[in-house]
């Protein structure tokens, strides 16, 4: 019997006035890849609060939510596991703090990257989904 797991996470798209996006380098099972700052929400935690907490943990910045961009839903099935990832994507802006790297977490580096260079980065697919939501603002909050 396949184990079923569902994970709900919140991520922040933060683009500054220089057209740079704030990213964190994730220490994933397939090696280091760039991801939006964010992550799993705690039991009972609202995703809005979770994205603010995660951004501070991974980047050192205090952030505020500008708007809800949408939700990414991904189902991955293999012989051993049935995994459903729900990613709630917000646009955020920095309101304080200083850029720093996370220590002892799932990321090891926080950095601003020019939007024009995203295609050259080793990144998770959900980053492209989030940028699509950010750029197109689909009324239903989903990219097809």
Determine, yes or no, domain membership for 10: yes
CA 97 to CA 119: how far, in whole Å? Answer: 28
CA 87 to CA 72: how far, in whole Å? Answer: 5
pLDDT in tens, 28-41: 988 999 999 999 99
Widest pairwise Cα distance in the chain: 50
The secondary structure of residue 29, as a DSSP letter, is T
CA 121 to CA 99: how far, in whole Å? Answer: 20
Judging by beta carbons within 10 Å of its beta carbon (0-12, 13-18, 19+), is residue 59 exposed, middle or buried?
A: buried
Determine, yes or no, domain membership for 20: yes
Q: What is the pLDDT of residue 138?
A: 93
Determine, yes or no, domain membership for 21: yes
Q: Would the pLDDT of 108 be above 80? A: yes
User: What integer is the mean pLDDT of 65-93?
Assistant: 94
Q: Would the pLDDT of 70 be above 90? A: yes
Segments forming the whole domain that contains residue 85: 3-136
Write the CATH number for 83.
3.90.79.10
pTM of the entire predicted model: 0.94
Determine, yes or no, domain membership for 46: yes
| Under 8 Å between Cβ of 26 and 123 | no
Determine, yes or no, domain membership for 76: yes
Q: What is the pLDDT of residue 144?
A: 79
Share the mean pLDDT of the chain. Answer: 95
Q: How distant, in Å, are the alpha carbons of 5, 12, 52, 118, 144 from that of 133?
A: 25, 12, 19, 15, 10
The secondary structure of residue 56, as a DSSP letter, is H
Q: What is the pLDDT of residue 3?
A: 87
Ranking 75-79, 87-91, 118-122 by mean pLDDT, the lowest is 75-79
Structural domains counted in the chain:
1
User: What integer is the mean pLDDT of 15-25?
Assistant: 98
User: What integer is the mean pLDDT of 64-70?
Assistant: 97
Determine, yes or no, domain membership for 32: yes
Q: Would the pLDDT of 143 be above 90? A: no
Q: What is the pLDDT of residue 93?
A: 98
């Amino acid at each position: 019997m396949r184990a079923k797991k569902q994970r709900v996470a919140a991520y922040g798209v933060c683009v500054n006035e220089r057209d740079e996006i704030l990213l964190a380098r994730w220490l994933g099972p397939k090696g280091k890849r760039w991801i939006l700052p964010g992550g799993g929400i705690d039991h009972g935690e609202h995703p809005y609060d979770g994205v603010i907490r995660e951004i501070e943990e991974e980047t050192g910045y205090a952030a505020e939510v500008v708007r809800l961009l949408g939700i990414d839903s991904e189902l991955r099935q293999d012989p051993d596991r049935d995994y459903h990832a729900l990613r709630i994507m917000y646009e955020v802006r920095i309101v304080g703090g200083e850029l720093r790297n996370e220590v002892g977490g799932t990321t090891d580096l926080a950095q601003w990257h020019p939007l024009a260079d995203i295609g050259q980065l080793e990144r998770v697919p959900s980053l492209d989904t989030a940028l699509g939501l950010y750029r197109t603002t689909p009324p239903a909050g989903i990219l097809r």
